Amino acid sequence: IAGITQAPTSQILAAGRRMTLRCTQDMRHNAMYWYRQDLGLGLRLIHYSNTAGTTGKGEVPDGYSVSRANTDDFPLTLASAVPSQTSVYFCASSVAGESGEQFFGPGTRLTVL
């Protein structure tokens, strides 16, 4: 792995289903983030983690949960998907929470029907 990866690349999901988006980084970065980006809008922070074992809520956390069991992985779970969660999801990481340089994964395009 080089950098930060996300899986799946894209997914079509029925409303009400549970879904986990995966994110893995190999840069040993302490901080990780999940964003969603809707057409014509800026990135919106869903959840973040400043270090393994801790997580925090961002701007739009409702309907999403995260865990940070180790440094490398930061999965995002939609417990019961709704159509308004249709979006492109980006995972990012940075050396520390106060760093302005974030490295982004390629994104997951999620469609909830």
Residues that bind other proteins (CB under 8 A): 35, 40-45, 48, 58, 90, 97-107
Taking a C-beta distance cutoff of 8 angstroms, is the pair 47, 58 a contact?
yes
Comparison of 9 and 28: residue with beta carbon closer to other proteins: 9
Look at phi and psi of residue 40 and say left if phi exceeds 0, alpha if psi is from -120 to 50, else beta: left
Query: Cβ 97 to other proteins, closest distance in Å?
Result: 5
As measured in angstroms, the least distance from the Cβ of 106 to other proteins is 6
Q: Cα–Cα distance between 50 and 28 in angstroms, integer?
A: 12
| Nearer CB in complex with other proteins: 13/95 | 95
In the complex with other proteins, the residue whose CB is nearer, 14 or 42, is 42
